[in-house]
Amino acid sequence: MKLVVSAATDRGLKRARNEDSHGVWSAEDPGVLSARGVLLVVADGMGGARAGDVASRLAVETTLQAFQRAPGANVLADLRAAVVVANAVLYAENVRAREAMGMATTLTAAVIRGADVFLAHVGDTRVYALRGRRLTQVTEDHSLVAHLVAEGELTLEEARVDPRRNLLTRSVGLSPDVEVDAGRINWTFAPGDVLVLSSDGLHGLVRNEEMERVIAAAGDLDQACAELVALAIAAGGMDNITVLLARAED
């Protein structure tokens, strides 16, 4: 099975700089690729925190490097450990450089190995799975409004416009320890399926139905990424926008 990957990122219309980062690692050696899979990472530097762009870039780079250097016996354990290492690196940088104190980021990583998909997730960047024309959110946001929705205190529609929607309950870099949601998706990745990683600059403005329509209709993933970014900008472009798509093909 072949994997086609595409990504796009944009500063948006309101931010002074792009504090999102993303990365992909795919081993050149066929044996290593078969054993380790393809790693996809998206991070969103916390808005308002100092050096958010540095935090997201450092988190992505560290996750990619730590996963590559891991023993390789257990993909999920290696993935989770790579995010823990990224947290430790960011926290150490916060302690070392006073001007960077408080820098933090969300971090969502996925490994696609054949028909298996493994995730490690902190914050409100998201993973979706598209099969046919149905888009399903796989990760759960670590945010105040997501908690309030789960408790029945807010509806999904209310959460979309709630002024507290950017308040995170977990992030990478602010403390020496981090709680990582990690697991294997209970879903077989098959030809035609698409895995979607996005920052909240996309999914916070573009509804699931619109994302479904664009991705399902696109023959070219580069075009799909460009269209999704354009939709977020047309909806106001209030934040940095990042989308990473991976489609399984015969």
CA gap 125, 213 in Å, rounded:
21
Residues of the chain with pLDDT under 70: 47-50, 98-101, 146-149, 151, 153, 158-159, 161-164
Asked if the structure places residue 165 within a domain, the reply is no
Q: How many structural domains comprise the chain?
A: 1
> Is 158 contained in some domain?
no
Is 57 within a domain?
Answer: yes
Residue 104, domain extent:
2-136+170-249
The CATH number of whichever domain residue 122 belongs to comes to 3.60.40.10
Query: Coil, helix or strand for 240?
Result: coil
CA distances from 144 to 120, 179, 195, 242 (A): 20, 16, 26, 22
Would 40 be classed as within a structural domain? yes
pTM comes to: 0.93
pLDDT at 233: 98
Domain assignment of residue 16, yes or no: yes
